[in-house]
Chain A
Amino acid sequence: MKIFVKGGYQTKFGELWEKSLKDLILEAGLGAMKQAKIKPKEVDLVIVGNKLSGKVGGQDHLGALAAEALKVKKGLRVEAACASGGMAVHEAVQTIKAGEAETVLVIGVEKMTDKNNGEIAKALMGAASKEERRAGLSFVGLYALMATAYMKKHKASKKDLAKIAVKNHKHASLNPKAHFPKEISIEAVIEAGMVAEPLGLFDCSPISDGAAGVVISSKGSGVEILASEIANDSLGLAERKSLLELKATRKAVKRGYKRAGIKPDEIDIAEVHDCFTIAEILAYEDLGFCKKGEGYKGINKPVNLSGGLKACGHPVGATGVKQIVEVVSHLNNKAGERQVRGAKLGLVHNVGGTGGTAVIHILKGNL
């Protein structure tokens, strides 16, 4: 069975004071169905990827909420921390493969800016282990532990990390939907205030509102999903052998490449999970785009054309779906100024927590 992405849509990411969670679900859902040229009654199921709504917005039961708002027959919600969006797409693929649906609408959504930073930092820590919460760590802190270990082992510098942020902001400057559509200098990144040493403000993805939607179907044609793979690792960092890799990413992508029958160097474009600059460096290595210990030197492949989580923004449940929307737009040759010419194979990498979950999608254009 072949499964396709029929269409996708991303709302503006940012501090969207005038938009509620439901407004975002509606905009992303209707936008995706319009792009896919289908009507709500042709959708068998809507799957919502969301992490925090129950905790910080007081609204659970998003499957029913989305089904009602979009006039779709059935709805359910999926949570896998910051990989909720990617996991929702994976669930759509599984449901179609199982023969329980032909066409599934997936919406990733998060409304974060109604709360202050401390509240969001605490709420996000629900994706970590109990011991990590008890140590007063934040997600920045957990990735900072990885950064400290990586920088010491491979003699990487703060400047090496900063280059990731500069690149992603440059990409975002061409993306009007990005939270921060503007370039920044390497000095600004290095001199910014610390959030959790060695990670400064510009090493971190922002707290954003936003949503994205895609229509996944076994009917007709479109960008084909060659592989949809997930893998897990321990919730906490202490239970892992190494701080220098995300084993979940390695396991999921290995299966993905095998299923798609391709090698890493055949990938033309990728959206990877750069929640912090160090995370993109680790992703280069874990995805096989470069050798272990060389990710900090950069790679010769277009990555995070959307601006990544860093500059496009990171409404956590929306990110995994937005990444698919971005790659699909390139494979359909509709990415405008950001278009990677002749892109045929794309990879999407979405991570939950510090790598307790990884979701990989490999996509093939049909132009």
Chain B
Amino acid sequence: MKSAVKIWRERKERYKSLGKTGEVVSWTKIIEAPDGWQGQYYGVMVELDDKSKVMGQMVDCQKIRVGDKVTGVLRRLGEAEENEVIEYGVKWKKQ
């Protein structure tokens, strides 16, 4: 069960990549997803313009390559069960 308090507590770091831009340094296409997620989707490591790196997931993406330029956008994360908090966070979109 996702805790609303936990999600609230994480708000400072949870959205910190929102609107930032960077470049894909590696990617994978997740076919078999862990519980709480629906495959298929692309998982990426993004190097931000300040050279720090973050993990994330692509949205609206058919094909991906190392070097693609991306921007952090607000999206729903994973699947929420009945009576569960819907979790939001940053995903990545090609520029």
Contact = CB atoms under 8 A, between A and B. Distances in A.
A152 B52 CA distance: 21
17 contacts: A118-B33, A118-B34, A122-B36, A125-B34, A136-B36, A137-B30, A137-B55, A138-B33, A140-B30, A141-B28, A145-B27, A148-B28, A196-B28, A196-B32, A236-B55, A238-B55, A239-B53
Given A132-B55, A196-B43, A121 B33 contact: yes
Contact of A138 (B30, B44, B52): B30
A134 B66 contact: no
Contacts of A243: 25-26, 45
Contacts of A194: 29, 31
Interface of B: 10, 14, 25-37, 41, 43-45, 52-57, 66, 77-78, 89
B43 A148 contact: no
A352 to B, nearest CB: 18
- 6 smallest A-B Cβ distances: which pairs? A144-B28, A197-B29, A121-B34, A122-B34, A122-B35, A118-B35
A260 interface: no
A236 to B, nearest CB: 7
B78 to A, nearest CB: 6
Question: Contact residue range for chain A?
Answer: 35 or more
Interface in A114-137: 117-119, 121-122, 124-125, 129-132, 134-137
A113 to B, nearest CB: 16
A131 to B, nearest CB: 5
Contact of B53 (A134, A144, A198, A238): A238
Interface of A: 117-119, 121-122, 124-125, 129-132, 134-138, 140-141, 144-149, 152, 193-199, 236-239, 243
Contacts of B77: 134, 136
B75 to A, nearest CB: 11
Contacts of B56: 135
Contacts of A134: 14, 55, 77, 89
Q: Which of B14, B30, B77 has the most CB of A within 10 A?
A: B30
Given A137-B55, A145-B43, A196 B29 contact: yes
Contact of A238 (B34, B37, B54): B54
